[in-house]
Amino acid sequence: MDATTFDPAAGREFIDRVLVLGHHSDSDAHYTRTYLTPAHQAAARQIAEWMRAAGMPVRVDATGSVIGRYDAAAPGRPTLLMGSHFDSVRNGGKYDGVLGILVPIACVAALSRRGERLPVAVEIAAFSDEEGARFQTSFLASRALVEGSASLAPLLERRDADGVTLAQAMRDAGLDPARADGDRIDPATLAAYVEVHIEQGPVLLDAGRALGVVTSIAAGTRHLLKVKGEAGHAGTVPMAMRRDALAAAAEMVLAFEERAAAAPPLVATVGILKVRDGTGNVIPGEVEFTADVRAPDGATLAAGREAMFAACHEIAKRRGVALEIAKKHEVESAPCAARLQDQLAAAIERVVPGEAAMRLPSGAGHDAMILAKVTEVGMMFVRCGAGGVSHNPANVFLMRGVEGEAVVRLHAPQPIEEMRADGAPVTHLIGEGDADFALPPRDAPATAQWTQDVLDGKVRAPAALAREVTLIVEHCRTAANAGRPGLKLVSSNALLSKP
Ligand SMILES: [Zn+2]
Same domain membership, residue 450 and residue 354: no
**Where does a domain end: 331, 351, 375?**
331
Same domain membership, residue 308 and residue 200: no
Same domain membership, residue 169 and residue 36: yes
C-alpha 292 to ligand 1 mean position (Å): 19
Picking from 332, 330, 336, 246, the residue whose alpha carbon sits closest to that of residue 283 is 246
Name the pTM for this structure.
0.71
Q: What are the φ/ψ torsions at residue 99 (nearest 5 degrees)? A: -55, -45
User: CA 355 to CA 401: how far, in whole Å?
Assistant: 12
Picking from 152, 159, 147, 155, the residue whose alpha carbon sits closest to that of residue 178 is 152
Same domain membership, residue 432 and residue 318: no
C-alpha 465 to ligand 1 mean position (Å): 23
The region of weakest confidence among 119-133, 334-348, 361-375, 433-447 is 433-447
For the chain, the three-class secondary structure string (H helix, E strand, C coil) is CCHHHCCCHHHHHHHHHHHHHHHCCCCCCCCCCCCCCHHHHHHHHHHHHHHHHCCCCEEECCCCCEEEEECCCCCCCCEEEEEEECCCCCCCCCCCCCHHHHHHHHHHHHHHHCCCCCCCEEEEEEECCCCCCCCCCCCHHHHHHHHCHHHHHHHCCCECCCCCEHHHHHHHCCCCHHHHCCCCCCHHHEEEEEEEEECCCCHHHHHCCCEEEEEEECEEEEEEEEEECCCEECCCCCHHHCCCHHHHHHHHHHHHHHHHHCCCCCEEECCCEEECCCCCCEECCEEEEEEEEEECCHHHHHHHHHHHHHHHHHHHHHHCCEEEEEEEEEECCEECCHHHHHHHHHHHHHHCCCCCCEEEEECCCCHHHHHCCCCCEEEEEECCCHHHCCCCCCCCCCCCCHHHHHHHHHCCCCCCCCCCCCCCCCCCCCCCCCCCCCCCCCCHHHHHHHHHHHHHCCCCCCHHHHHHHHHHHHHHHHHHHCCCHHHCCCCCCCCCCCC
pLDDT tens figures, 117-141: 988 999 999 999 999 989 988 899 9
**Where does a domain end: 272, 296, 331?**
331
What pLDDT is attached to residue 427? 25
Same domain membership, residue 267 and residue 176: no
The region of weakest confidence among 105-109, 273-277, 334-338, 352-356 is 352-356
Average pLDDT, the chain: 79
C-alpha 233 to ligand 1 mean position (Å): 48
Same domain membership, residue 245 and residue 163: no
C-alpha 138 to ligand 1 mean position (Å): 11
Q: Is the pLDDT of residue 145 over 50?
A: yes
Same domain membership, residue 298 and residue 194: no
Q: 363 vs 268, which has greater pLDDT?
A: 268
**Where does a domain end: 278, 311, 331?**
331
Which are the contacts of 161, defined by CB distance < 8 A and separation ≥ 6? Answer: 134
User: CA 200 to CA 100: how far, in whole Å?
Assistant: 13
C-alpha 101 to ligand 1 mean position (Å): 11
**What percent of the chain shows pLDDT beyond 90?**
57
C-alpha 283 to ligand 1 mean position (Å): 42
Same domain membership, residue 54 and residue 150: yes
User: CA 395 to CA 96: how far, in whole Å?
Assistant: 8
Domain count, the chain: 3
- Residue 38 CB neighbours (<10 A): 10
Query: Band of the pLDDT at 451, cuts 50, 70, 90?
Result: low
What pLDDT is attached to residue 319? 97
C-alpha 246 to ligand 1 mean position (Å): 35
C-alpha 127 to ligand 1 mean position (Å): 10
C-alpha 98 to ligand 1 mean position (Å): 8
Integer angstrom CA distances of residue 100 from 120, 124, 496: 19, 9, 19
Q: Is the pLDDT of residue 72 over 60?
A: yes
The CATH number of the domain where 251 resides is what? 3.30.70.360
Q: What are the φ/ψ torsions at residue 327 (nearest 5 degrees)? A: -80, 130
Picking from 198, 220, 203, 190, the residue whose alpha carbon sits closest to that of residue 84 is 198
Q: 285 vs 93, which has greater pLDDT?
A: 285
What pLDDT is attached to residue 31? 83
pLDDT tens figures, 313-330: 999 999 999 999 999 888
Same domain membership, residue 296 and residue 436: no
Q: 452 vs 58, which has greater pLDDT?
A: 58
Residue 109 sits at the vertex; the CA angle it makes with 14 and 415, to the nearest 5 degrees, is 85
Integer angstrom CA distances of residue 436 from 224, 458, 462, 470: 54, 14, 8, 21
Residues whose beta carbons lie less than 5 angstroms from ion ligand 1:
96-97
What pLDDT is attached to residue 360? 94
Same domain membership, residue 251 and residue 193: no
Same domain membership, residue 297 and residue 176: no
C-alpha 366 to ligand 1 mean position (Å): 6
pLDDT tens figures, 471-497: 445 544 554 455 443 333 333 333 222
- Displacement of CA 128 from its chain's centroid (Å): 14
C-alpha 76 to ligand 1 mean position (Å): 32
Same domain membership, residue 236 and residue 194: no
User: CA 110 to CA 334: how far, in whole Å?
Assistant: 31
Q: Which domain holds residue 66?
A: 3-217+333-399
C-alpha 485 to ligand 1 mean position (Å): 28
User: CA 10 to CA 471: how far, in whole Å?
Assistant: 24
Q: Is the pLDDT of residue 388 over 50?
A: no
C-alpha 141 to ligand 1 mean position (Å): 13
pLDDT tens figures, 156-215: 999 999 999 999 999 999 999 999 999 999 999 999 999 999 888 888 878 878 889 999
C-alpha 201 to ligand 1 mean position (Å): 12
What pLDDT is attached to residue 16? 81
C-alpha 96 to ligand 1 mean position (Å): 5
C-alpha 378 to ligand 1 mean position (Å): 15
C-alpha 89 to ligand 1 mean position (Å): 9
Integer angstrom CA distances of residue 357 from 1, 49, 77: 22, 34, 30
